[in-house]
Chains A and B, each alone.
Chain A
Amino acid sequence: MEQKLARSVSIIGTSTLPQRYFDDPMYEGLSIYELWACACHQAMEDAGVKPRDIDKIVYSQMANYVTAGNVLAMVGTLEEWIGLAGKPIIHIEQACASGYIAFMEACNAVASGKCDIVLVAGIETPKHFNSRNQPAHMIRPIAEYEEWWSPGRALFDTTYYRFDGVSDNLLTDEQARLYMKNYGVSEETIDDTYNAMAVNLRRNASRNPRAAERREFAEIAKENGFDDVMEYMRSEEHNRKITRFIRKRGSVLHNVAAGAIVVCSSDIAKKFSQKPIEVIDFASSSNTQRFPYCFHQMNVDVRDALYKDDIDPNELDLMITTVMTSGEQLDSAEVFGYLPEGKGYQYELDGRTCFDGDKPINPHGGDLSFGHAFGASGINMLSEAILQMRGEAGDCQVQKDVRKCLVRGMGGGHTTVGIILETKE
């Protein structure tokens, strides 16, 4: 595929810091700042660049005001921690799409010719915060935040008084209703599809040391007296429904994370990396939650903006997509033509979307098992795509060469992105 940018852009480095919780022994005594510094230096080391080589930083974080001591624009401090004080930096906040948008902005900075090497990095701690009057390592559970705060509710603007019951879960539920309406699939089949998807993603995550949850559901089911994992997944006691269609195991898993990627102009990429990955094109679409089926519509809008000229979805070797709740993976895989329309559910039921299947989706485990850290998540998803394309994903490596990959992301119900990556050699 031919690059659609005015100046070709390549990825030359990524971090591999795992998704964890703050109570993991590996993260004992740390704050988001140590994680930030680690991710950024991992990416720079991987790219073979020093801090002085970086022309600009694009940083993503969604909830810094809430979780980081009510601080605005902590950009200078973040630069200091990675030895980049004095360099230009931009903060991107676009809910859980922040990381993807930040990546696109980093690519734009290189494509414009303004910068040669750009670091894109994100940090987020969805479940903890530090108080205004304490240093950042003195973290507390988000439930103790002095003002009631829910990321789900914060996604709804206040231009009109919105019915609070229209949560993001209900919006993702719409994808199931739309699917049933369009393709005549039963509610029981949708439930089995979503459960199979959760099982598949956990199977992937069990092979990925960077994933937050790594115990297979088959093993957990057996431990709870179920020989059939699908029976366990249908059980209200062990996997209750949180909306009409979405079950607990089919909903996003929140964890603390940091991530970083280094991009540069393609003409100098070979100086730094033996396996540069080219950024072919990207597109985004924003919408409001005002109208029904907005999640589906944004997928359609991004697909139409992205698929031009020589881009053929049948050539894609891999799809990585945000999966806040189960319906999102199925809808996006079909809209972007990675799975056949109206038949994608069967691929999930048959396990063909697993890392070792013929149509792998989210071989790292997806947001349901790999984990999800708001504004950092897009960068983490892109990092997993990079590892797969280099053949460095470890035990969750897909079983074929990944030359062309679609990374599709979504955040807050108001922004969806599509990014196409390719290895040329």
Chain B
Amino acid sequence: MFKLRPILKTYYDALEEGKVLGMKCQECGDVVWRPLPTCQKCGSTDLEWFDMGDEATIDEIIFENTNLKGDYTFAKANQNFVNKEPYCICVGHFEGGNLFHAALYGVNEDNVDEKISMLPITAKVEFIQMDGGFKSVGFRIKD
């Protein structure tokens, strides 16, 4: 029986408390982030909240030359981010979880080749303040 309960609000409230939540299927054990009320593998609706921890593995770094002026170039910080520090895009995963796209801080033109050569690498969760009055999740790799 599907449980009518807040998914989005619970997730965003947890971010305010410094916690990243996903959901874990109680039938097949699959973990999904960002959280969804239906298991993407087996279709079960028996999912419970799951603490994703504070770090993830970065599998790919998508770093475009700033001259391209594309959406993902690090010179174009998201207009809704309060902090305008440059970032790039990554593909990563939490332990046991699905692949995701996210903002990645700590990569620049000087170290990008070195960081890519080190992949996969671990990155810490970075809480991104949004101008809409809530937080989003990005990552920051160590120097």
Contacts and interface: CB of A to CB of B under 8 A. Distances in A.
A33 to B, nearest CB: 7
A134 interface: yes
Interface string B37-74: 11110011100000000000000000000000000000
Nearest to A53: B43
B38 A81 contact: yes
B130 A133 contact: yes
A82 B45 CA distance: 9
Contacts of A81: 36-38
Interface in A23-51: 26, 28-31, 33-35, 37-38, 41-42, 45, 50-51
Interface stretch (A135-143, A160-168, A233-241): A135-143
B96 interface: no
A137 B131 contact: no
A38 B4 contact: yes
A22 to B, nearest CB: 12
Contact of B131 (A30, A31, A133): A133
Interface string B4-38: 11111110100000000000000000000000111
Contact of B12 (A35, A41, A137): A137
A138 B43 contact: no
A34 B6 contact: yes
B43 A50 contact: yes
Contacts of A35: 4
A48 to B, nearest CB: 13
Interface in A115-167: 131, 133-138
A83 interface: yes
A137 B2 CA distance: 19
Contacts of B8: 31, 33-34, 135-137
A80 interface: yes
B1 interface: yes
A34 B134 contact: no
A138 B7 contact: no
B132 A82 contact: no
B108 interface: no
20 contacts: A29-B6, A29-B10, A30-B4, A30-B9, A31-B9, A33-B7, A37-B2, A37-B37, A41-B2, A45-B2, A51-B38, A81-B36, A83-B38, A83-B43, A83-B44, A83-B45, A133-B132, A134-B134, A137-B9, A137-B12
Interface of B: 1-2, 4-10, 12, 36-40, 43-45, 80, 130-134
Interface of A: 17, 26, 28-31, 33-35, 37-38, 41-42, 45, 50-52, 80-83, 85, 131, 133-138
